[in-house]
Amino acid sequence: MAKEMDKIVALCKRRGFIFQSSEIYGGLNGFWDYGPLGVELKRNVKEAWWKDMITRHDELSTPKGAPSSFSMTGLDCSIIMHPQVWKCSGHDDLFHDFMVDCKECKSRFRVDHVTVAVRRTTTDKTPVACETFIVDAETGTGLSKTQSKRLDQAVGQYKKERGDDVECEQVTMSLDSYLKEAPLGGPAARCPSCRGELTPPREFNLMFKTTVGALAGEEGTAFLRPETAQGIFVNFKNVVDSSRVKVPFGIAQVGKSFRNEITPRNYTFRSREFEQMEMEFFCHPDESRKWYEYWRDRRYQWYVKYGLASDRLQLRDHDPDELSHYSVGTADVEYAYPFLSEGEFGELEGIAHRGDFDLRSHMEGKLVRDEEGCLVVQQDEHGQPKYRGSGKDLRYFDDQSRERFVPHVIEPAAGADRATLAFICEAYHEDEQPDEKGEMQSRVYMKFHPQLAPIKVAVFPLIKKDGMPETAAGLYRDLKQAGIACTFDQQAAIGRRYRRQDEIGTPWCVTIDGQTAEDNSVTLRDRDTLEQTRIPLNDVVAEITSRLNA
């Protein structure tokens, strides 16, 4: 499997699908460029998505499986937005962590994930001893017996030194709070797994920071968007007010997002700069469950339609404890990429039921879930909203029912690069075909769906004489005029030219031969079956067009 991935990566480089960014300077981890063929492939992927979402959407009919008819519209938002957007969306907290590293065993921990049991004096709260541990979410386990014993011993030692009149109590707190409370002097918190020395907390920000305005300073600090979705939410009111859409409706966006991943790996799968195809679907809360299921199934089918095989593609509903902070239901469309271990799948797209979390967050301020599971505005230590919302009314007024409500949101969020990579991996095929002497030769071909293939047709004169090149060039121009991506090749033997096209996934080759001059017919050769059919030269454009739309 991993070997197959190496072949795919080599082919992508050799044929101009994907290059490493800034390769001549040694490359830059987590960034990738699309070559001449790659850009066509990725454009076709995005175009297929956009057509499915917007261009071909019929808002007068009810699509199969949908609760009702609905509207769809597009949007293209800026990459840099007001910093408050990320505070209210939750990204600022979620993507911004302080981490400590163990100098001994090199483990890394989020400061707020490490719990500290502290023994301190009851009188002046001086910390005497502490032990760290990670609370297991499933078992809820805390301090071990050994650790308790160590605490007892440390307190005993302390009492011996100070005399017996000190009373100690035990409290637990996060490492975060402990470091703030006992910055100096107190016993050092040690590594939860090996008791090694910990580094001071260091800032990790998964969002790319930049400065707005020429003057550097905290004032102008802004972030490159880590997802395209927030641009849609903050424009919700603009779209409703300007486009006459009625709930239910969706807003789609394709664009770049940026995440400063700690470990970009697996080719283009986890990149620091990537392109998303996101759609936010706004509906009445009572209907949201049905819409969630509709979009989940429809998005899965989209990948099937464009050629991902069902045994390497799966739709997986998240377990309740796996759900994001905002979600009441999420499913992933996953693909068994060849770089993953047997049985493992990687995420292509997440379809999330986000409820009213996003719109309300941008109205009221950043929300969190309280003990009863209700969304409430997160408060700071003074009882004020931690991050203030816009204060704008983002509710929707339904003229028919005379009802005013915050729509619920279904979000299918797909990775354009991940989809492109999955289509590349799925397309890669090797087989054995006889050469002109009848000996079996290995053949590599990319079995792209014709709508995704970078080039749809290659036109060849069988040999470079008898007017064949001229006839072929004429057909090439006709195809170009019709807007069909095609190429012309008269170099080398015909077999080699076919193989070249196979390797870049061109579904059809048209060859002008001796018979063309006699009866105006050409051969149309199929990439996958290698079968050739004779069709009239004048029908080629129409034939290709109809096959492309099939």
Of the candidates 127, 192, 250, 350, which one interacts with RNA according to CB under 7 A? 350
Cβ proximity to RNA, 14 vs 51, nearer residue: 14
Task: Pick one of 125, 180, 265, 392: the residue that binds RNA (CB under 7 A).
Answer: 265
Both tokens assigned to 477: 């121009």
> Could you say which of 442, 481, 483, 549 contacts RNA (CB under 7 A)?
442
Selected binder of RNA within 104, 287, 347, 478 (CB under 7 A): 347
Residues 524-543 that bind RNA (CB under 7 A): 525, 530-532
Among 250, 255, 264, 389, binds RNA (CB under 7 A): 264
Residues in the interface with RNA (CB under 7 A) total: 68
Instruction: Tell me if 289 contacts RNA by CB under 7 A.
Output: no
Helix (H) or strand (E) holding 257: strand 249-258
Q: Minimal distance in Å, beta carbon 95 to RNA?
A: 7
Residues 6+ apart with CB under 8 A from 261: 30, 206, 270, 271, 272
Secondary structure class of 81 (helix, strand, coil): coil
Of 65 and 434, CB closest to RNA = 434
Residues 293 and 54: their CA atoms lie apart, in Å, by 20
Shortest separation between residue 322's beta carbon and RNA, angstroms? 5
Does the protein bind RNA through residue 194 (CB under 7 A)?
no
The closest alpha carbon to 518, from 459, 471, 475, belongs to 471
> Sign of dihedral through CA atoms 118, 122, 124, 128?
negative
Of the candidates 390, 366, 367, the one whose C-alpha atom is nearest the C-alpha of residue 82 is 390
Rg (CA), the chain: 30
Q: Does 441 bind RNA (CB under 7 A)?
A: yes
Of 207-215, 371-379, 404-412, 495-503, the window that binds RNA (rule: CB under 7 A) is 495-503
Taking the least distance from each CB to RNA, the nearer of 41 and 459 is 459
The correct pick among 211, 243, 491, 533 for binding RNA (CB under 7 A) is 491
Closest approach of Cβ 134 to RNA, in Å? Answer: 8
CA 37 to chain centre: 22
Q: How far is the CB of 99 from RNA (least distance, A)?
A: 8
Residue reference for tokens 């693909």: 335
Taking CB under 7 A as the rule, does residue 300 contact RNA?
no
Identify whether the C-beta of residue 72 lies closer than 8 Å to the C-beta of residue 252.
yes
**Does 342 sit near RNA (CB under 7 A)?**
no
Q: What residue has token string 């739709």?
A: 315
Question: Of 241 and 342, which CB lies nearer to RNA in the complex structure?
Answer: 342
Given candidates 58, 241, 311, 436, which one binds RNA under the rule CB under 7 A?
436
Is 20 near RNA (CB under 7 A)?
A: yes
- 340-343 contact pairs (CB < 8 A, 24+): 340/1, 340/266, 341/1, 342/1
Q: Among 64-72, 240-248, 290-298, 497-505, which window interacts with RNA (CB under 7 A)?
A: 497-505
> Which window, 63-71, 177-185, 388-396, 506-514, contacts RNA (CB under 7 A)?
506-514
Degrees to nearest 5, angle at CA 398 with 392 and 403? 85
Q: Is 314 in the site for RNA (CB under 7 A)?
A: no
Q: Which stretch binds RNA (CB under 7 A): 8-16, 123-131, 177-185, 208-216?
A: 8-16
Query: Is 106 near RNA (CB under 7 A)?
Result: yes
What are the tokens at 77? Answer: 């938002």
Please tell me whether residue 13 binds RNA under the rule CB under 7 A. Answer: yes
CA distance 201 to 78: 33
Residue among 101, 131, 176, 356 that touches RNA (CB under 7 A): 101
Toward RNA, which CB reaches closer, 256 or 305?
256
Residue 23, both tokens: 């390769």
Containing 108, the helix (H) or strand (E) segment is strand 108-110
Q: How far is the CB of 469 from RNA (least distance, A)?
A: 10
The residue from 6, 76, 393, 403 that contacts RNA (CB under 7 A) is: 6
Residue 180 structure tokens: 């703030």
Upstream peptide bond of 434 is cis (omega within 30 degrees of 0): no
Residue 248: asked if its preceding bond is cis (omega within 30°), the reply is yes
Contact (CB, 8 A) for 531 and 498: no
Considering only residues 54, 66, 444, 485, which one is a binding residue for RNA as defined by CB under 7 A?
444
Part of the chain binding RNA (CB under 7 A), chosen from 99-107, 214-222, 297-305, 383-391: 99-107
Residue closer to RNA by CB (options 247, 414) is: 414
Spatial CA neighbour of 259 closest among 269, 271, 276: 271
CB 350 within 8 A of CB 296: no
With contact defined as beta carbons under 8 Å apart, do 216 and 40 qualify? no
From residue 55 to residue 94, the character string flagging contacts with RNA as x (rule: CB under 7 A) and all else as - is: ---------------------------------------x
Rounded to whole angstroms, how far apart are CA atoms 407 and 426?
38
Helix (H) / strand (E) element for 216: namely: none
C-alpha 298/C-alpha 339 separation (Å) is: 27
From 93, 466, 478, 539, residue interacting with RNA (rule: CB under 7 A): 466
Q: How far is the CB of 495 from RNA (least distance, A)?
A: 2
CB 263 within 8 A of CB 270: yes
Q: Judged by CB under 7 A, which of 493, 519, 538, 542 binds RNA?
A: 493
Instruction: Output the CA–CA distances (angstroms, integers) from residue 149 to 135, 143, 168, in the order listed.
Output: 19, 10, 14
- Residue ranges binding RNA (CB under 7 A): 2, 6, 10, 13-14, 20, 26-30, 94, 101, 106-110, 261-267, 270, 318, 322, 324, 330, 332, 339, 341, 347, 350, 433-436, 441-444, 462-466, 491-496, 498-500, 503, 511, 513-515, 522-523, 525, 530-532
